Structure 1
Amino acid sequence: MRFAILAMLVLSAGCPAKLDAALGEDNGAGSGSGGAGAPTECYVASDCVPAGPRCCDCPTHAVPATDPAQRACDEVDCEPMSCGSPMQAACEYGRCVLECSPVACDGASCAYGFVTDGNGCLTCECAAPPATECGIDTDCARVREDCCGCAMGGEDTAVLASQVSLHDATLSCPATPSCPGYDTCAPDLAAR
């Protein structure tokens, strides 16, 4: 019995050395490390360059500056391109990515924000107002908010002039609504 216990101790004594060796081989790319086993492409933005599907195409992604296909494109003469908004390569969490370059618009201020281009980058062009709002007063029409409207003791509101019929239909008012019968309209109230 002593011999069996001694044999077990000797066998189990070998495990920690083997376990330590396995732990020493950890490259930090395991679960929870954020690396997920993928090789690091970059450390800083200058490690990356914008790239397109072919050498003279507008950039759609970013690759490491050492990428062999991209290095081959360095030798190709391309015509000047118009690719929309300026894009730049960046390094995020060890991966090369293509991002929108900052754009300075001289004194531009837009009530509805700025237009985005095909790449999703902001331009200096002002965005149009949403279709649910009036850009100018004549885009709107004054309508009754309820079945009575302010002329018969209810309330009025404003909707897009193109949606007056739709608004009236959604009220679902009876032919002769029960209203107080007195005018509650503000004399200076206009659709805006």
Structure 2
Amino acid sequence: MDKTDQTAIDESALVLNRTEKSAEAVLRVASMALSITGLVIMIKNSISNEFGSVSYSNIGAFMYLVSANGVCAAYSLLSALAILALPCPISKVQVRTLFLLDQVVTYVVLAAGAVSAETVYLAYYGNIPITWSSACDSYGSFCHNALISVVFTFVVSLLYMLLSLISSYRLFTRFEAP
């Protein structure tokens, strides 16, 4: 293989790397937007009626959901900017760092969605054996908004699962095992 062939291969790899980075940045920005949407819906979610008032801040699972979505949105923005700003052949340390942080954010957001989904389920259906009745009969709009926020959170967790797959693929195909 002569020098011009090697240069052509390097340039095509560079273009692929730039395309890959752009696609990854788009996924990160999309997850940021969805995290912020879920966060705002939950923060604005409060209701007051003759039975009392309820807000996301009264329920620990929803406070965790808001916190996790906030952390995810901030990380998504910073990582999207970092992905675009990093030089084209990304170093092993940078790839490992992104892989690790993507894994952490994926599990944090998934845990927030799971615990909030359980809370929404209990609010909708109660738990008859221990005499918890459905709260959504009295606080319907609160439950509906909480459900929408949880759905957004699960979509974000799916995007981060995809980003984790991309990070792991990049790490394990380009570098040898430690």
The TM-score by the shorter chain falls in which range? under 0.3
Between structure 1 and structure 2, the one with the greater Rg is 1
The alignment's TM-score, normalised by the length of structure 2, stands at 0.26
More helix by share: 2
More strand by share: 1
Query: Larger relative contact order (C-alpha < 8 A, sep ≥ 6)?
Result: 2
